[in-house]
């Protein structure tokens, strides 16, 4: 079993600016980060509620052609100590890896699937070279 800590939920959105306005103006969340992600040809925005610990990540993908209601849950994210070791262990248990480990910013990420096809991000620090 991989030692993993649940850290946030990512949902797919059709219009990132519209969704940011909804969550900030209607639900009082604060935009804490926004950036383009080259690996997914998309853009993300992270929001938090004042006093809350959970992060909501809004995900917009330029290549996504169609959205079907119910597809909005994009992925769940878990922090792990070592992404590469976690992926190796999960593969040995028959878990499907949908994106092999890669570096993004100062972190290292990979994506696996649950039995129903929901993507799960494994996030950790970049490995130190040396």
Catalytic residues: 121
Longest C-alpha distance within the chain, in Å?
48
Answer for the pair 55, 47: CB distance below 8 angstroms, yes or no.
yes
> Of 41, 127, 120, nearest to 76 (Cα)?
120
DSSP sequence for 27-59: T--EEEEEEEEGGGTEEEEEEE-TT---EEEEE
The structure tokens 């995900």 sit at 59
């Amino acid at each position: 079993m991989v030692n993993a800590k649940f850290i946030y939920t990512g949902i797919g959105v059709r219009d990132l600016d519209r969704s940011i306005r909804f969550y900030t103006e209607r639900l009082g969340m604060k935009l804490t980060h926004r950036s383009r992600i080259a690996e997914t040809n998309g853009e993300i925005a992270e929001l938090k509620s004042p006093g809350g610990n959970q992060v909501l990540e809004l995900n917009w993908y330029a290549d996504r052609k169609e959205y079907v209601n119910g597809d909005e849950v994009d992925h769940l994210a878990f922090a792990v100590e070592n992404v590469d070791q976690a992926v190796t262990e999960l593969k040995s248990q028959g878990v499907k890896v949908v994106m092999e480990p890669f570096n993004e910013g100062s972190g290292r990420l990979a994506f696996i699937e649950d039995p129903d096809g929901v993507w799960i991000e494994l996030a950790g620090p970049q490995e130190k070279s040396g």
